[in-house]
């Protein structure tokens, strides 16, 4: 090959355990399983933030939320940040989007106050061409459904009623049709980003997939626990984040979620077949991940929020046909979505953006084991958008205390809250996140690790350069600067 093709796939709200190759007792995902068998699966892969826009900002820029500061759906992404599309364009590709990126424009780039981009965070990430723009209103899909005899008032109604129509009319099928058609028309190396909505709620799978799983087979969610943090209590009191208390209703939602997982897996099978048919399978890098996870009843919650692992542990699979040595392997080290941009950059021989907080995963793809890899996963959550606007002086920093950061090691999870409080969970003894520990001998090293993590990932956009000798260059490292 000269330059490989690149296919970056995101599945919205896809839990890391919802793979049959990961040993899930219910869900069937033969096509993701096949990709993992022909590539590398990252078993401890984590998103860096929730909900969608924050999670994707970290993925697309390779930076933690504390750097990119996209803290909610509607926070604009600062245009100074490099991203995966801009990187691909520098490498000679025309990166093309199918779906959505949910990144709001930097308002400083807009001169017209009536510009509609100032009223919608569902913008297209800078650098992408658009093969199919499919934001939340879903107008292209709705028009396509109308052409097939199904006139629906809006995208939400169309999603809720997906069980009533054949699966080949699903939103996932619609996106796949456009992606496969586009791939078949390419005559030079290409870069595509396929951003699927499912298995994001509503909990309604398409066609027969809505009836694919028996309610009696649904696994029990992780229990709520007794000593609840205020954030946990608030989420349980919110109808948008509280799981059904009726076990039968929760089982129905679980079955629909797994049906959505299998339905989008089925659509990915169509993509794999198209790549093989068109002779692209052996010259295409495929990366599959998610923007965040899904509680699915764990700790009494649905959707994604708070500090619990189910909201952030996601699937991660990479297949590079040029690196067969590790194909079929499973990596148990902690990997993160901030690793995706540096990984793709490295795989296509493009310089890794200096802003990146993550690391390239290429050693694992070559069957190697880095000796200095991270020992914990990290994620952040900010809930300032739920603060009432009471006219309080913004400089009292009240909103800036509405955030948390989690450090998850093999044995513990340490949660630091913006108001100075903290919690620490013993996951080795109790993986359900109900057993807390307060022993300073355990907690203090974790708190120190959190401080070190923040200190070592401060914004580095210009810190690697040095103004001297008549020009700008990268700052050399010498022992005296250590």
> Smallest Cα–Cα separation from 223: which of 314, 313, 310?
310
- Residue 149, exposed/middle/buried by CB under 10 A (0-12, 13-18, 19+)? exposed
Residue with tokens 């007792």: 25
Where do runs of H (alpha helix) occur along 73-196?
84-90, 139-147, 155-160, 171-184
Long-range CB contact pairs, 246-253, < 8 A, 24+: 248/215, 250/218, 250/221, 250/297, 251/215, 251/216, 251/218, 252/203, 252/215, 253/203, 253/296, 253/297, 253/302
Residue with tokens 């709520």: 224
- Give one DSSP letter per residue of 266-333, joined into a string: HHHHHHHHHHHHTT-GGGEEEEEE-S----TTGGGB-SS-SS-GGGTEE--EEE-TT-GGGTTEEEEE
* 15/404 Cα distance (integer angstroms): 21
Q: Which two tokens stand for residue 332?
A: 């148990």
Residue with tokens 């580095």: 460
Q: What is the DSSP letter of 404?
A: E
User: Which residue(s) pair with 473 in the sheet?
Assistant: 466
The answer to whether 356 is a known catalytic residue is no
The b-or-e profile of 10-46 (16+ CB within 10 A means b, else e) is bbbbbbbbbbbbbebebbbbebbbbbbebbbbbbbbb
Do residues 275 and 400 make contact, with C-beta atoms less than 8 angstroms apart? no
* 14/234 Cα distance (integer angstroms): 24
* 136/354 Cα distance (integer angstroms): 33
Do residues 118 and 36 make contact, with C-beta atoms less than 8 angstroms apart? no
* 464/458 Cα distance (integer angstroms): 12
Strands (E), 139-273: 191-196
> Smallest Cα–Cα separation from 473: which of 354, 368, 356?
354
* 261/242 Cα distance (integer angstroms): 21
Q: Given 52, 261, 402, 424, which residue is catalytic? A: 52
- Catalytic positions are 52
């Amino acid at each position: 090959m000269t330059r490989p093709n690149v296919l970056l796939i995101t599945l919205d709200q896809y839990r890391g355990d919802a793979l049959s190759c990961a040993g899930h007792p219910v869900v069937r995902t033969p096509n993701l399983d096949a990709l993992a068998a022909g590539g590398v699966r990252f078993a401890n892969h984590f998103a860096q933030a929730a909900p969608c826009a924050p999670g994707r900002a970290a993925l697309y820029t390779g930076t933690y939320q504390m750097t990119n500061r996209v803290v909610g759906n509607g926070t604009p992404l600062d245009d100074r940040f490099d991203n995966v599309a801009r990187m691909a364009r520098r490498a000679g590709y025309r990166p093309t989007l199918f779906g959505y990126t949910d990144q709001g424009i930097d308002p400083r780039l807009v001169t017209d106050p009536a510009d509609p981009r100032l009223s919608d965070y569902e913008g297209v990430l800078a650098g992408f061409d658009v093969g199919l723009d499919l934001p939340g209103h879903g107008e292209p899909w709705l028009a396509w459904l109308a052409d097939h005899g199904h006139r629906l008032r809006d995208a939400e109604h169309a999603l809720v009623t997906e069980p009533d129509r054949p699966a080949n009319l699903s939103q996932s099928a619609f996106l796949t049709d456009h992606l496969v058609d586009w791939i078949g028309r390419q005559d030079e190396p290409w870069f595509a980003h396929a951003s699927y909505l499912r298995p994001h709620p509503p909990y309604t799978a398409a066609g027969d997939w809505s009836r694919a799983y028996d309610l009696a087979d649904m696994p029990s969610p992780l229990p709520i626990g007794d000593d609840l943090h205020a954030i946990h209590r608030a989420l349980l009191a919110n109808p948008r984040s509280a799981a059904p208390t009726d076990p039968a209703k929760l089982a129905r939602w679980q079955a629909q979620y797994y049906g959505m997982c299998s339905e989008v897996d089925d659509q990915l099978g169509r993509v794999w077949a198209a790549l093989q048919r068109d002779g692209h399978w052996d010259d295409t890098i495929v990366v599959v991940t998610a923007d965040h996870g899904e509680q699915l009843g764990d700790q009494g919650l649905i959707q994604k929020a708070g500090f619990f692992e189910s909201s952030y542990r996601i699937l991660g699979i990479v297949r590079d046909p040029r690196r067969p040595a590790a194909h079929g392997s499973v990596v148990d080290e902690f990997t993160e979505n901030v690793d995706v941009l540096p990984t793709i950059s490295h795989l296509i021989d493009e310089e890794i953006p200096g802003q990146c907080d993550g690391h390239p995963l290429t050693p694992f793809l070559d069957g190697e084991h880095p000796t200095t890899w991270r020992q914990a996963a990290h994620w952040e959550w900010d809930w300032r958008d739920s603060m009432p606007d009471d006219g309080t002086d913004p400089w009292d920093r009240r909103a800036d205390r509405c955030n948390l950061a989690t450090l998850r090691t093999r044995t513990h999870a340490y949660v630091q809250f913006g108001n100075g409080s903290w919690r620490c969970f013993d996951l080795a003894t109790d993986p359900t996140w109900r057993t807390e520990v307060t022993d300073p001998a355990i907690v203090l090293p974790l708190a120190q690790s959190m401080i070190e993590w923040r200190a070592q990932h401060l914004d580095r956009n210009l810190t690697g350069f040095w103004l001297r000798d008549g020009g700008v260059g990268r700052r050399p490292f010498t022992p005296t600067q250590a």
